[in-house]
Each structure stands twice: as C-alpha cells, then as structure tokens.
Structure 1
Amino acid sequence: MEKSNGLQVILFPLPIQGCINPMLQLAKILHSRGFSITVIHTRFNAPKASSHPLFTFLEIPDGLSETETRTDDKTFLFTLLNRRCETPFRDCLAKLLVSSDSETEEKKQRISCLIHDSGWTFTPSVTKSLKLPRLVLSTYTVSFFLHHFALPKLRREVSQDSEQDDLVQDFPPLREKDLVRLLEEKREYLEPYLHMMLEATKSSSGIIFMSCEELNQDSLPKAREDLKVPIFAIGPSYSNFPASSGSLFTQDETCIPWLDKQEDKSVIYVSFGSLVTMTGAELIEIAYGLRNSGQPFLLAVRVGLVKGTEWIEVIPEELKAKLDEKGKIVKWAPQQEVLKHRAIGGFLTHNGWNSVVESVCEGVPMICLPFIWDQFLNARLVSDVWRVGLHLEHRIERNEIESSIRSLFFGNEGEAIRERMKLLKEKVGRSVKENGSAYRSLERLVDQISSF
C-alpha cells in the first residue's frame, strides 16, 4: 500500500461468487492507491475476512432462510436481499460515519464514498439521506449491462420458438436463439428490478467496469451517451491482484502438481462457474466428449452442478475408470492459477464474465457453452466478435464436444484462433500498463474518489 491518503472507501458486494471477486479486486487496487477499505457484507455467502487482513469487514443480517438461499431464481433472491438489507445497511453505514467523525486527528480516516454492486438498488435513498457520494460497480461486460435493461420489452416481442441466427438489433451481438434461451429463466421480478437498477445507476456519481476499451469498443460510447454518468473501464486488473482469496469454495490444489506432469498447451480445462446447473445426462455427454477427444483434461464439477446428485456418481463406473486414465476431476479448481499454467491449451467454459476476462488475460482460447443470463452475450463476443473461441451452440453432445476440442487443438481454425487470442491478450495487457486506456481510467477514478 502507498502511504495512506486519509480516505476510507466503503464497499458493498452482492453475495455471489462472480460479484464478490471483482469487488475484492477493486478493494486491492484502491488499497494500493492509499485508501483504507471497509467491506460491508451479508451473512449469506460472507467473504473470508481472514484472507484479507488489511481490510475491515462488517457483517449485516440479511434475513434469508435456508430455503430462500437455495432458490434458482436469482432475480427473486436479489429482490429479497434488497428488501431485507436496507435497514441493517443504513444502520451500519450511519454508525461508520459517526465513528469516522469522532476519531482523533491521528487516526482520522474520512469516508469518501460508497461503492456498491449494481445489483443493490435501495442504496440511492440511503446515501442521499446520509449525504455520502455513491459509485456503482458492474460485474457485467459494458454491452450486457447497457442492453439488458431492454429485456422486459424484448420478452414481449420475441417469438419463444425462434431458432434464428439473426442478430437481435436491440441487443448486439446476441442472436435470436440466444435471447430465447436467456428469457427461458423464471424472472417474474425482472422488470421492476431492472427499472430500479437503471435508476440507481443513473443517479450515481459514476459506474465502474472491470473491463477496458479494447474489449468494449462499440458499447462504451453508447453507454456514456445513454447512462449520462462518468464511466470508468479500469481494466481486468486481476493479474496484479489475484482473486483466488475471494473464493467461496474450497480449492483443490492437487490439480497443479498434476498439470506440472502434462505437456505444454496439451490440457483442456473445463469449468462452469458457481451458478450453472445441468442434468446428469449433460455431464455424461461432456465426460464422453472429453474422453473421446484423447486430450488430457482437468474437469471441475462443483458440488451442486448436477441437479439431484451429491457429486459425480451419475457418471458410470466404466467411464469413470477411462476418464482417470487421461484426466483429473476436482470439485473446484484455483482457476487463475490453472489458466496461467503452461499445460493449459484451451478452456471449455460457461462464459461468465470473470472467466472470459481471465482466459483473455492468459491467452487461453475458449470453447463456449453458455447456460444462463449474460453468458450468452459473452460467448458471442468470444466466438463472433473477437473470434478467439469456438461456440458449441448449446449442443451438449459427445461428438460435438470431441470435435470442437480436436478443432481447437489441431485444426487450422484452432491455429487462427490461437493467433487472434495472442494479439487480444497483448492489447488488453497494454491497456492496464502506464498510459493504457484502463490505466488512465483508473487514474480518473482515483481522482474522482479523492475529490468527494
């Protein structure tokens, strides 16, 4: 940490893995610039405070029952959290402001602002009453964040049986068939929730994206025009500040010595993030595709990934024995360490934004298999816009998986993809270096926070 600048920033992440990691990365970045950090968090999915001894963690009650925390309808979950957390959050923040004012001069750390996840929508009234400036962190790519406010309108217009490859004009680069899958999810709370999120963003002092101009060339100018607040695309800075310490899952470190024994760029890494669920039949098809490809593989099967099972018991014993000959199956992998490893040659991914950014930063080409929400758009960016991956088009069949792995590792198309990925990695890498687009954006953000 640079010398303390006497300013404190309050951070408030949404309690899911894909939102906690970027918020803690942002905390590390700001701490390195002299800010002291206090993280207010819910009891549900509380981050591990012991992994971040330099930050202060304050837990608030969220009132969620165990049944509510297990719901598949994330919009319902976030709506509940916003209802239940407003009063405890207000009380916690008010106490912090009072104690900050009463500190002695030597210990004084003036609270500069609140930075909260875009999923918290009750914050405008709280911060207004306490006269505290407020910034928003979006864990989506700019394009998805900007266009997903149109989803209620698109739901009314789209044909539910569309399998069209046509671009959705109001939501590029999504295809019509992606939109149908995205809208399949049960989201009766979606319209009011998105409306409140948009209002909370537009009334903020700015929005932060863990991305850069190089990954959002088309959408950033439009976002500035539509949202009319300062936008800080501060870059995928995770390479300087690893997120592994923010993991809510126990990481199986045994996969690293296993990777050490594999040849360079020979292994396909397979992971579907912290929220996706699939059927047992789908996991079996993926397992056969991996086995039949002949490539060594590292497969992460999160507990809860396969509906109605404990772990991987759905895979027949005979297939399991064959899988063990070529690959390794773990419950959760230290993903950043894995993607950095010289043995990794490809990533079969659900295309969560954090995973996409980490893959780009490490120059690992992708095979796209999106399941929910922003993953469909992220997959189109990877396969259609940047052209640094192949798209399975939701065909979870062993032959398709085998053939995509072979194409990526041995085909001419795979070679072209690897070359484009190498160039994209270099462009994104330059953005966070001195005078790069993300570096300059971070400087502006630090100036903005310091000016409050």
Structure 2
Amino acid sequence: MDCSPSKVSGTAITAHVLILTLPAQGHVAPTMKLAYRLADLGVKVTFLTAECTFDQLDSEQSRNKDALPKIQGGPYQERVKTVFFPDGLKSTELDERRDTVKFLERIAKVMPYHVEEFIKKANQPESEKDEKITCVIADLVVAWALEIANKMGLKGAIFLSSAPGIVSMVLQIPHLIEAGIIDAEGTPKKKEKVMLSPYLPALSSDDYVWNFPGNKELQKVGFEFVRSGEPFLRTSNWVLCNWYRDLDPSADGLLPTTLSIGPLLANDRPSGNMFSEDLTCLSWLDRQPPGSVVYVSFGSTGTFNSHQFDELALGLQLVGRPFLWVVRPDISHEVASATDGLRNRGADDHQLGKIVQWAPQEKVLAHPSVGCFLTHCGWNSTVEGMSMGVPLLCWPHMRDQFYVRTCICDGWKVGLELKPNEDGIFTRHEIKSKVDELLINGGIRENALKIKRLAQMSLSKGGSSSKNLEQFVAELVL
C-alpha cells in the first residue's frame, strides 16, 4: 500500500492539530496511526494522552526512533509530539485501571480541564505560529472536547475507529428511544432489527455498540459515552472514519462532513502500541508452510474464565495446525496451567505452535504463512486482517464487536462465526470444526482477497481514502 510521504498540491501547510482519545490500547492505536498519516501530509500533530499511558507510548517511540523514515521538513518525531496530562493513575496501578467504570469516570473528570489549559497555553499571543493549535480531533468517546474547541474558535473533527454502520447507529439513538426500541439506558425493549445501511446487515438488539453482556453498569456507562457523542457528530466540521468507502458506499453520505480515510496502518512507524511486542514470532512464522498458521488474538482487554480458556487451549491442540497465540498475562486466571500444558505438548518447541504475550500484529497478518485469524472482532484487528486478505474466525466479547461479527460473516462474507453450546461454552470441537471449514472455504478466501485489493486501491494515489485525507488537510488551512 502506498503510504509514502506526500503533500497537498498547492497548499502551504501551517496547521497544528491536537489529537485526543481515550487512553486505552484500542483507542490510542488508530489515533496514533492517524497522527502519522497527517504528518505524511505536512501537518504538525500533538497527541495528548493520560500520564498512565505516556511511558508506554514513549517507550515504543524510543524503540522505533532509528527506524523512523524522514519526510520533507524534518523527521517524524519533529512533526508528531506526544504529551500527557496528570490523571492520578500510575501505570503500575493496574487494578484501578482494570475497573473500567472507575477508569472512565476518572478520565471524564480530569481530562477536560487539562485539554482546555493545554490549548490556552499553546495559543498564547506570544506563541510561535506553528505552535498554535488550529484544530482538535477527538475520538467519539471524548467528543466533549469539540465544545472546548468551539469555545476557543478552533475547528473540530470527530474521529471514529469502528465499523461502517456505527455512525448510523449512534445517529439513530434518539429515534430508538422515542420508538421504545431501547430505554434511556440503552437496554433493548423490543426484538426489532434496525436498518443502518442498504449495503450492511440489519442491526439486531444484541448488536448495539454499548453492549456489555452480563454487566449492566458498564452498559449504562458505555451508552452514556456513546450517546453524549451524538450531537457532536452532527455539528463537527468533519467526521473522520477508519474504514474505506467500498465497505459501505452509503456511509460517506450519512452526514455531509463524513470522510472515510482508512484503513489506517502503521507501516513500520509508531502505532500507539502500549505493550512490548515479541518479535521472535516473525522468524517462527518464516519456518511455517504458506497459509498454514492459525493466528489467535483477543486484543488488549478480552478475558476468559478458567473453563473457557482451557477449552480454547485444547481446541488449538485439536486443530492440529501450527498456531500463533497471543496470551496476555491477564487474559485468564488459568494462563499458566493451560499454556504450560500446550508447551509440554510442543508449543514453543516449533512442533505445535508458539505462544507470545503480544505480537506485531500487522506484520503477522501480512505474513504468507498465516491462513486465518481467530479474533474478538475489535475494529482495529478486523480492519488490519481484512487489509491483509486474511479470513476471519469471529469470537466477539463486547461493544461493537458483535455488529462487526455480523458484517464480517453476513455482509462482507470474509469469515465465519464461532457459536457457543447450550451452556455458553465455545467448545474445542467447535473451534476445530470452524478452523477446518474456514481454511478450505474458497469463497471466503476469494472475498477476503477482494477486500484486500479494495483497501489497497483506497490508499493508493487517487484512491478514495487518500483523496479524502488530502481534502481534510486542505480544508484545515482554509
């Protein structure tokens, strides 16, 4: 894919963008990739994050410093600056950060003040012109930042790194409540499907973006975060979306300000990675036959109870194919016993598979030995997998992952869905059966390669996403 340095023709870039997001891996990664794409086009970017994530991001940038490509006007690190605001949460206070409700409440309480103070300081009359913030780009979950931007006379953009259909879902919230389809806390009241797009499957009551199965409190908080962003979608100067037009040709017409600019890929630059990647998996992949490896990753937050985790481990053994499995230390209480059992049966000895705590995912998915991707259907993982033409095996856990699963299987037809038994367990036999089916399904693989080609075209010179991002940059300086 052509992500080479470029500039907007005839435009002298003087914009300085402030990018804001929730300090969590799934939000930081795509916004950091956006920062470096804007740097490609000559825009100066400040990435403001919470102190609890800053050290992890700083570590990644230090690791990549020598490999950063140069662009006209200086190295990337001179165009993209990462700064933090104090949040009262140190990176070692993991228990408090894992309490999602408390974490979201803390961020919502302290972040607005620091955003406003940062802009005031940057935009003092005596500041150099290129230091002054001219636009704020805010993730949908921190859309309130555009109210601050508007108060200070700045342009504002919403950034959405989720599937096509999600914008329509959020915009329909007032109607869903008024029609009695959901209540004021987002709980479904009717088993009624909602059309989001003529090109995508209908939305079922189980697929709402704020869905947290078994956690009513988190669903309520998630719904409020999403709902609070709805008016800003309608009033922002731009809505920048991490997808490409071919995934839903109707999406760019939802609002006159919508611009599809994806897929956002790192391409060897800092990617907002908050975990240390185990690069030994790449040399292991080099030794595997083409299309043979089952790549397994459930993102930065997916967890399993002891029974389910053990069943997953046994399922990977039963598949009988080489696998690369990302196992975070906090993914389950049974990490040690289940993975030790696999290692005793050949994993990490190159006979059965390889287990790592975190992987360089884009490089893994681009590797010719990878045959399929067992995923939680987080949008970052999904768009990376589709951009590399890898068939997907879907095991969603929460939020928009359920609707992404529906789009993967019933819309774009690039994957299959794992289904639980009557006790809610995804059995080892179900895992083996679906992996086998996915790897021999020529239609799904053909669709996956088609989606990959469309992604490449969107990012190429003159492609829809490239033109949209250039349009955004040109309008920044008007």
What range describes the TM-score normalised by the shorter chain of this pair?
A: 0.7 to 0.9
CA RMSD of aligned residues (A): 2.6
**Counterpart position of 2:455:** 428
Deviation at 1:351, TM superposition (A): 0.7
Deviation at 1:136, TM superposition (A): 1.2
The question of whether the paired residues in 1 share the 8 Å contact of 2:122 and 2:131 is answered with no
Deviates more, 1:349-358 or 1:136-145: 136-145
Match of 2:110 among 61, 84, 109: 84
The question of whether the paired residues in 2 share the 8 Å contact of 1:370 and 1:394 is answered with no
Match of 1:403 among 403, 424, 433: 433
The question of whether the paired residues in 2 share the 8 Å contact of 1:11 and 1:38 is answered with yes
**Counterpart position of 2:245:** 213
Separation in 2, partners of 1:137, 1:181: 21
**Counterpart position of 1:129:** 151
1:332 aligns with 2:358: yes
Paired residue type of 1:173 = A
The question of whether the paired residues in 2 share the 8 Å contact of 1:117 and 1:136 is answered with yes
Deviation at 1:405, TM superposition (A): 0.9
In the alignment, structure 1 segments of 5+ residues that lack a partner are none
The question of whether the paired residues in 2 share the 8 Å contact of 1:71 and 1:77 is answered with yes
Paired residue type of 1:133 = K
Paired residue type of 1:40 = L
Change (3 A) 1:261 1:170: closer
Residues 180-219 of structure 1: pairs in structure 2 closer than 5 A: 182=212, 184-186=214-216, 187-219=219-251
1:116 aligns with 2:141: no
The question of whether the paired residues in 2 share the 8 Å contact of 1:242 and 1:336 is answered with no
Deviates more, 1:395-404 or 1:120-129: 120-129
**Counterpart position of 1:71:** 99
**Counterpart position of 1:270:** 296
Match of 1:352 among 378, 390, 395: 378
**Counterpart position of 2:275:** 249
The question of whether the paired residues in 2 share the 8 Å contact of 1:256 and 1:338 is answered with yes
Deviation at 1:154, TM superposition (A): 4.2
Deviation at 1:87, TM superposition (A): 1.2
Deviation at 1:394, TM superposition (A): 4.3
Match of 1:9 among 17, 21, 37: 17
**Counterpart position of 1:53:** 77
Change (3 A) 1:383 1:102: same
1:173 aligns with 2:173: no
Deviates more, 1:278-287 or 1:400-409: 278-287
**Counterpart position of 1:292:** 318
Change (3 A) 1:366 1:433: same
Deviation at 1:244, TM superposition (A): 5.6
Paired residue type of 1:368 = C
Deviation at 1:341, TM superposition (A): 0.7
Paired residue type of 1:41 = T
Change (3 A) 1:406 1:441: same
Separation in 2, partners of 1:19, 1:181: 17
Paired residue type of 1:57 = T
SS at match of 1:6: coil
Separation in 2, partners of 1:167, 1:289: 34
Separation in 2, partners of 1:301, 1:371: 16
The question of whether the paired residues in 2 share the 8 Å contact of 1:64 and 1:81 is answered with no
Separation in 2, partners of 1:383, 1:439: 27
**Counterpart position of 1:261:** 287
Structure 2 length-normalised TM = 0.82
The question of whether the paired residues in 2 share the 8 Å contact of 1:347 and 1:365 is answered with yes
Separation in 2, partners of 1:62, 1:28: 25
CA deviation profile, 1:310-362 (whole Å, cap 9, x unmatched): xx213175444225231111111110110011110100000111111111111
Change (3 A) 1:132 1:398: same
**Counterpart position of 1:315:** 338
In the alignment, structure 2 segments of 5+ residues that lack a partner are 65-75
1:40 aligns with 2:48: yes
Match of 1:24 among 26, 32, 42: 32
CA deviation profile, 1:366-407 (whole Å, cap 9, x unmatched): 101111101111111111101111111345110000011111
Separation in 1, partners of 2:249, 2:19: 28
The question of whether the paired residues in 2 share the 8 Å contact of 1:244 and 1:336 is answered with no
Deviation at 1:174, TM superposition (A): 3.6
Change (3 A) 1:2 1:185: same
Deviation at 1:365, TM superposition (A): 0.5
Deviation at 1:415, TM superposition (A): 1.3
Q: Percent identity?
A: 28
